[in-house]
Structure 1
């Protein structure tokens, strides 16, 4: 094993949105042994950096689902924005279903007035952290808006028509699965898009070449590392492409059933230091291959 790629939410981060001491020590141990550790997340660079800095960790970051790759020094080595026409089609599909959505750009995150959609976000967060109270979840949502630098805007064309701003991701929320399915169906034939999800109440839209698997392959090729020597860890559908290409794929115990079925191994939950458990197991000789 020469490289470890790990998702953040539902994987590396626990129910307190932090990297546990056990996970920190396991990552540091791997790094000391010369193993590259890479973060691969749907978050923006700023929101991904904050828990790493708090934990005293320094890692390259594949962010916004593979749209951007940052080296440890903050240098961007890959940038794959959405096409302008695709942005307008995604906006139309989301607004047709009255779905709340956020847009992640080179100038920060944007949304319409979010006050009416707090209850949607509360329910989404409860699916990730079922043991956390509603008041605390609301506090975390407000903190998330700050971490992701979500600004409000009345006219998204201000972004789409600005040549100085790149749009990387749309994140749409709904309490109704049927609504999300109708949005997906409207955009199914848009071949420039990758449509995935980081939870059962959302959809994520990126450029077709912007997914964690393609980004991971780009990064490992840059280092001269073969994918067979990579261990990837994740919990949800936006991790699928990364887990599919990695030589060693690890699902969290709290992962979506589709992810568990895909992966070679299942580790402990994100609340029980599952990343550390997987790393330690790998360092001691690895996992037996799953019998299909």
Structure 2
């Protein structure tokens, strides 16, 4: 019997408009009223995740930064797993060989390493993935882009990052093509102590090897007294893969999921634009998950 549901945000709970539908929101409330604990498990940091859902208040637990932070229902920080700064020089040295750029992510702020002043242009290239079909002007004027721009600061060297003396929970690498990212991925896998994941074809997300969604959910649920077989996870992208490999009771892939997620899943629901997360959660509430079993 499912007693906990942990769901990714982008591509899972959120539709192509980057918001949660009324149906999905109501379903979350229904499963909670039915006695199921609900948790967000996202690659976003807590300020970004909570702000995105500000019009849909949720009483839920949070795994953010792909597993680097765990917060309770009150938003109180329970655990953090920052990256070891010793690996940054090797990461930067590798990425500098390619047409790509790096963001160092901490809570509430992203630090972009670039000597150029074209920060807005770099973010625009990245944001085109989130807004397919939109013109550049529409993207630049959107609330989501302006929010992203406000949280950015630029540095020209790693020395400036050291001087800040702040914990870094994730390193985000963005390139123009998937081929470039695959080359960088091969190099990143050689660095000990880090986990490599991806949300899009042309990005990488690096965290401490212990800061992965699956590991974080497992640790937290164990502390709360739940068993793995009582947990259901929902996701769509490669940064959700650790959830699908953790041995939970139900691993549900979205209909729009990456092929590796579809392969690892035990269940497949509808797409995020068809309220697939809501569909699967309601089946779990009604003990009918076998209807979408592979």
Q: Same fold (TM over 0.5)?
A: yes
* C-alpha RMSD over aligned residues: 2.0
> Matches of 2:155 and 2:216 in 1, distance apart?
30
The CA deviation at 1:161 is 4.8
Indicate which of 148, 158, 175 corresponds to 1:145. Answer: 148
Deviations 1:111-132, CA, capped at 9 Å, x for gaps: 1342342453144325xxx455
Q: Which residue number corresponds to residue 250 of structure 1?
A: 252
Assess, with a 3 A threshold, how the Cα gap between structure 1 residues 190 and 2 changes in structure 2: closer, same or farther.
same
User: Is 1:156 matched with 2:161?
Assistant: no
> Matches of 1:190 and 1:11 in 2, distance apart?
30
Assess, with a 3 A threshold, how the Cα gap between structure 1 residues 107 and 280 changes in structure 2: closer, same or farther.
closer
> Matches of 2:222 and 2:174 in 1, distance apart?
35
Q: Which residue number corresponds to residue 8 of structure 1?
A: 9
Q: Unaligned regions of 5+ residues in structure 1, if any?
A: none
Pairwise mapping of residues 9-24 of structure 1 onto structure 2 (< 5 A)?
9-24=10-25
Assess, with a 3 A threshold, how the Cα gap between structure 1 residues 260 and 224 changes in structure 2: closer, same or farther.
same
Q: Which residue number corresponds to residue 106 of structure 2?
A: 105
CA contact (8 A) 1:124 1:201 kept: no
Indicate which of 256, 264, 267 corresponds to 2:266. Answer: 264
Q: Which residue number corresponds to residue 49 of structure 1?
A: 50
Q: Which residue number corresponds to residue 177 of structure 2?
A: 176
CA contact (8 A) 2:100 2:176 kept: no
Q: Unaligned regions of 5+ residues in structure 2, if any?
A: none
> Matches of 2:34 and 2:108 in 1, distance apart?
37
The CA deviation at 1:276 is 0.7
Instruction: Identify, as 1 or 2, the structure richer in helix.
Output: 1
Assess, with a 3 A threshold, how the Cα gap between structure 1 residues 44 and 131 changes in structure 2: closer, same or farther.
same
> Matches of 1:187 and 1:160 in 2, distance apart?
21
Pairwise mapping of residues 117-266 of structure 1 onto structure 2 (< 5 A)?
117-126=122-131, 130=132, 132=134, 134-140=136-142, 142-146=145-149, 149-163=151-165, 165-245=166-246, 246-266=248-268
> Matches of 2:90 and 2:163 in 1, distance apart?
14
Deviations 1:70-110, CA, capped at 9 Å, x for gaps: 11222111111111111222222222213122110246211
Give the number of aligned pairs: 286
The CA deviation at 1:265 is 1.3
The CA deviation at 1:21 is 0.5
Normalised to the residue count of structure 2, the TM-score between the two structures is: 0.90
Indicate which of 286, 289, 292 corresponds to 2:288. Answer: 286
> Matches of 1:131 and 1:247 in 2, distance apart?
38
Assess, with a 3 A threshold, how the Cα gap between structure 1 residues 283 and 132 changes in structure 2: closer, same or farther.
farther
Assess, with a 3 A threshold, how the Cα gap between structure 1 residues 61 and 206 changes in structure 2: closer, same or farther.
same
- Secondary structure in structure 2 of the residue aligned to 1:255: coil
> Matches of 2:129 and 2:108 in 1, distance apart?
25
> Matches of 1:107 and 1:270 in 2, distance apart?
26
CA contact (8 A) 1:120 1:173 kept: no
Deviations 1:111-157, CA, capped at 9 Å, x for gaps: 1342342453144325xxx455554344445234157x122222332
- Secondary structure in structure 2 of the residue aligned to 1:17: coil
